[in-house]
């Protein structure tokens, strides 16, 4: 296949390009050439800005277009409309954050999506992100109809993750000692290795499969306790997990998700129960969590220069303070 990728040099995009090339497909990149320009040597690159600069793509054709990082309906809609005669299929990467609150346990692709009063907003916040992604989906479907494919990942993890939303855990647990584990070990969690997500996207294009798919994992239920225990085993097994209650962490002003990756407050945990049955039936496979943990840690340790933004996760000092307070309270 000949595939046009809008972007292709960040986390998911770079892994999609690598996977597509490994499977023998011809990839063209369209981006501004500012992020990781050294990646993907030997493939065609078209330099341009999708926000008003799509004319450079006129007259070209591909088998598929992949949009892995569209956030604003104005820009995604413009791309979808401009390219609808240039390919057979348009694959847009959305998010499970599109679902309207309160998100039902086991939400599937038919669950209601979030809405936003001002559809012209172009600022990403916790309140706007999901609703804007939902509008982007609508723009793609409106332009491409049955030729549209929408993939809704959850938390994407693995090598090249610069957000520290998962690398924190292999790194911290590998350091050993007493590790602060947030909330309840029975709380659900979901995550998908970026390489598995990329491979699923390629399979959908190869099969010319349309529709909408929740693409987070794993295929079977995973708890926070099982997740951190398996990460511990994968990176050395020398850490001791101390589970600290949600109420105590709230009192200590420890924030879920960013400061404590994977963890959500109990009231929000239905987001980690999204049904992936449709994606599994369409060919999504998920590698062992242990492999993801080891590979993520190896990638991080191999960084020659660390240009990642400052991590929002708990510092070692802050973690020690919270643990000391937990024990001082008689736990």
117, part of any domain: yes
Q: Are residues 142 and 173 in the same domain?
A: no
296, part of any domain: yes
Q: Are residues 117 and 246 in the same domain?
A: no
Q: Are residues 43 and 148 in the same domain?
A: yes
pTM: 0.96
276 compared with 219, residue with greater pLDDT: 276
> pLDDT, tens digit, for every residue of 67-110?
999 999 999 999 999 999 999 999 999 999 999 999 999 999 99
| pLDDT tier, 34 (very low <50, low <70, confident <90, very high otherwise) | confident
> pLDDT, tens digit, for every residue of 212-233?
999 998 999 999 999 999 999 9
- Does the pLDDT value for residue 31 go beyond 90? yes
316, part of any domain: yes
Q: Are residues 129 and 38 in the same domain?
A: yes
| pLDDT tier, 280 (very low <50, low <70, confident <90, very high otherwise) | very high
38, part of any domain: yes
End-of-domain residue from the set 95, 126, 153: 153
> pLDDT, tens digit, for every residue of 293-329?
999 999 999 997 788 889 999 999 999 999 999 999 9
Residue 272 has a pLDDT of 97
Q: Average pLDDT, stretch 164-184?
A: 97
Nearest to 91 by CA among 66, 125, 55: 66
205 compared with 35, residue with greater pLDDT: 205
H helix intervals, 5-128: 11-22, 73-83
> pLDDT, tens digit, for every residue of 231-257?
999 999 899 999 999 999 999 999 999
Q: Are residues 117 and 177 in the same domain?
A: no
- Does the pLDDT value for residue 36 go beyond 90? no
- Does the pLDDT value for residue 35 go beyond 90? no
Q: Average pLDDT, stretch 274-282?
A: 98
Residue 37 has a pLDDT of 84
What residues contact 297, with CB distance under 8 A and at least 6 apart? 167, 170, 171, 174, 235
Determine the 3-state secondary structure of 201 from DSSP. Answer: helix
Q: State how far the Cα of 19 lies from the Cα of 8, in Å rounded to an integer.
A: 11
Residue 164 has a pLDDT of 94
- The pair of structure tokens assigned to 11 is 């986390």
161, part of any domain: no
Q: Are residues 6 and 108 in the same domain?
A: yes
Nearest to 296 by CA among 171, 155, 112: 171
Q: How far is CA 213 from CA 128, 210, 314, 329, in A?
A: 21, 9, 33, 46
| pLDDT tier, 40 (very low <50, low <70, confident <90, very high otherwise) | confident
195, part of any domain: no
Q: Give the number of domains in the chain.
A: 2
Task: Give the CATH number for residue 38.
Answer: 3.40.50.720
Query: In terms of residue numbers, what domain contains 185?
Result: 168-190+220-269+288-328
Q: Are residues 172 and 148 in the same domain?
A: no
Task: Give the CATH number for residue 305.
Answer: 3.90.25.10
> pLDDT, tens digit, for every residue of 266-275?
999 999 999 9
Q: Are residues 141 and 238 in the same domain?
A: no
Q: How many residues does the chain have?
A: 331
Residue 299 has a pLDDT of 97
Q: Are residues 59 and 93 in the same domain?
A: yes
In contact, 89 and 149? CB cutoff 8 Å: yes
- Does the pLDDT value for residue 33 go beyond 90? no
Q: How far is CA 175 from CA 181, 254, 257, 296, in A?
A: 14, 21, 21, 14
Q: Are residues 38 and 172 in the same domain?
A: no
Q: Are residues 43 and 77 in the same domain?
A: yes
Residue 214 has a pLDDT of 98
Q: State how far the Cα of 59 lies from the Cα of 244, in Å rounded to an integer.
A: 59
247, part of any domain: yes
End-of-domain residue from the set 126, 153, 180: 153
Residue 321 has a pLDDT of 98
Q: Are residues 113 and 12 in the same domain?
A: yes
203, part of any domain: no
Residue 39 has a pLDDT of 84
User: What kind and span of H or E run contains 239?
Assistant: strand 239-244
Q: State how far the Cα of 111 lies from the Cα of 102, in Å rounded to an integer.
A: 11
């Amino acid at each position: 296949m000949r595939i046009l990728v809008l972007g292709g040099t960040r986390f998911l995009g770079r892994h999609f390009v690598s996977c597509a090339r490994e499977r023998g497909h011809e990839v063209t990149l369209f981006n501004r050439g500012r992020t990781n320009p050294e990646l993907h040597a030997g493939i065609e690159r078209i330099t341009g800005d999708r926000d008003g600069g799509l004319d450079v793509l006129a007259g070209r054709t591909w088998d598929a277009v992949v949009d892995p990082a569209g956030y604003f309906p104005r820009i995604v809609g413009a791309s979808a409309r401009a390219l609808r005669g240039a390919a057979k299929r348009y694959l847009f990467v959305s998010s499970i954050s599109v679902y309207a609150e309160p998100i039902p346990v086991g939400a599937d692709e038919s669950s209601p999506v979030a809405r936003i009063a001002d559809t012209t907003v172009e600022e990403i916040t916790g309140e706007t992100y999901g609703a804007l992604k939902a509008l982007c989906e609508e723009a793609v479907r409106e332009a491409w109809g049955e030729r549209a494919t929408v993939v809704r990942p959850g938390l994407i993890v693995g090598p090249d993750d610069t957000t520290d939303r998962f690398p924190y855990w292999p790194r911290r647990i590998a350091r050993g000692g007493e590790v602060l584990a947030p909330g309840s070990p029975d709380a659900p969690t979901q995550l998908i290795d970026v390489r598995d997500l990329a491979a699923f996207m390629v399979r959908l294009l190869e099969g010319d499969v349309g529709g909408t798919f929740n693409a987070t994992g794993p295929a079977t239920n995973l708890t926070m306790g099982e997740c951190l225990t398996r990460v511990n085993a994968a990176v050395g097994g020398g850490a001791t997990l101390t589970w600290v209650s949600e109420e105590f962490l709230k009192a200590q002003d420890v924030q879920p998700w960013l400061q404590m990756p994977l963890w959500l407050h109990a009231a929000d945990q239905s987001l980690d129960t999204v049904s992936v049955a449709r994606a599994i039936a369409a060919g999504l496979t998920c590698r062992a969590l242990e492999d993801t943990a080891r590979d993520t840690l190896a990638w991080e340790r191999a960084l020659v220069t660390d240009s990642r933004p400052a991590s929002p996760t708990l510092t070692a000092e802050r973690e020690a303070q919270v643990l000391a307070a937990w024990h001082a309270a008689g736990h």
